Amino acid sequence: MRWKKRGRIFEPPVRQTWWASHAMAPSAVLLPSGLVRVFIGCWDASGISRIGFVDVERQDPSRVVAVSSSPVLDIGRDGAFDDNGVFPAHATVDGDRVLLYYTGFQLGHKIRYTNFGGLAVSTDGGDTFSRVSEAPILDRADEGLSVRAGQSVLHEDGVYRTVYSAGSGWVDVGGKQRPTYDVYYQDSPDGITYARKGRCLVGCDPEVEHGLGRPQIIRNGDRYLVFYTRRMTSMRYHLGCAWSRDCRDWTRIDDQVGIAHSESGWDSEMVYFPSVLSSPDRTYLFYNGNDFGRTGFGFAELEAW
């Protein structure tokens, strides 16, 4: 793969009580209107994320058309799996609905937090969303006792091909306890119902990584690609990728992703949270830069597979 960086699209200003910093975890979807809506995690002053959006032009995503003035998805009620933050996992148009898969945060006592996966649905083109359940659709299971979230779906052949991150361990990285997790795969009949156990697609290398986060599945011709974040023990996060022809046997091709840190500037330390969006004439990669999205998000355009 070869990507041409096109620069930063959006740097979050200090705005309102609900949004003081960050534009984390961009998830881009092409709306029926022709605009690209990029859902993002917007942090308040306490570091609690709610989901907002930035609309950009399809032909030129550097041109911002609109920015949400309020969250499209707020945190869950006290005691819910998402009562301390939500951020986008993957957004997709499915018939007359926009599906917004998301990751919920809940604070822990013996561990820092847990992450499980939820789903909210819009029937008005992505302007408002309702949860399908206050409980996670990807809940705690033996494969993921503290993390089972970040899911991405590809709806084809009557099934929702789904990738997600799951894990149970914690390690000290950068002076904090951080979760460890791998990328898993399973099919769902409806994008809501999931088995307690999937199949590990790619495992992280503990020598250099502590997790492989928020995987994104796409189809390119006769093969499937999954992009993910390599959460490095050095804290200099990179993108990774794996491919398959049948969604069973996967080959890791991190060295072929074709996009790296800039020498300086907003994405010099992290290239993080990939979101690949293909249209008939071009393919974009939206991503975060340094400090988990504090410096905003930008995009690259595919030059060659």
Q: Does the pLDDT of residue 280 top 80, yes or no?
A: no
Whether the CB-CB separation of 230 and 245 falls below 8 Å is answered with no
pLDDT digits (tens, 9 = 90+) for 228-244: 999 999 999 999 999 99
CA pair distance 42, 87, nearest whole angstrom? 8
Single out the residue of 222, 215, 229, 210 nearest to residue 292, CA to CA: 229
CB neighbours of residue 243 within 10 Å: 15
Single out the residue of 108, 106, 111, 162 nearest to residue 138, CA to CA: 162
Give the position of tokens 């390690």. 171
177 — pLDDT class (breaks 50, 70, 90): very high
Q: Does the pLDDT of residue 33 top 90, yes or no?
A: no
CA pair distance 253, 77, nearest whole angstrom? 41
Single out the residue of 35, 34, 70 nearest to residue 51, CA to CA: 70
DSSP summary character for residue 255: G
Q: Tokens for 291? A: 């400090």
CA pair distance 77, 33, nearest whole angstrom? 33
Single out the residue of 74, 46, 196 nearest to residue 134, CA to CA: 74
Higher pLDDT, residue 13 or 272: 272
What CA–CA distances, in Å, run from 92 to 102, 106, 134, 248, 254? 12, 25, 20, 23, 25
Q: Tokens for 213? A: 């986060």
Give the position of tokens 């029937």. 123
Question: Is 168 exposed, middle or buried, given 0-12, 13-18 or 19+ CB atoms closer than 10 A?
Answer: middle
- pTM exceeding 0.85: yes
Mean pLDDT of 255-274: 96
How many Å is the Cα radius of gyration of the chain? 17
CA pair distance 91, 114, nearest whole angstrom? 22
| 291 phi/psi in degrees, rounded to 5 | 55, 45
Percent helix, percent strand, percent coil in the chain, to nearest 5: 0, 55, 40
Percent of the chain with pLDDT over 90: 95
279 — pLDDT class (breaks 50, 70, 90): confident
Q: What number of CA atoms fall less than 13 Å from residue 271's CA on the CB side?
A: 21
| Complete domains list, the chain, with CATH | 2-6+90-280 (2.115.10.20)
pLDDT digits (tens, 9 = 90+) for 116-131: 999 999 999 999 999 9
Whether the CB-CB separation of 32 and 125 falls below 8 Å is answered with yes
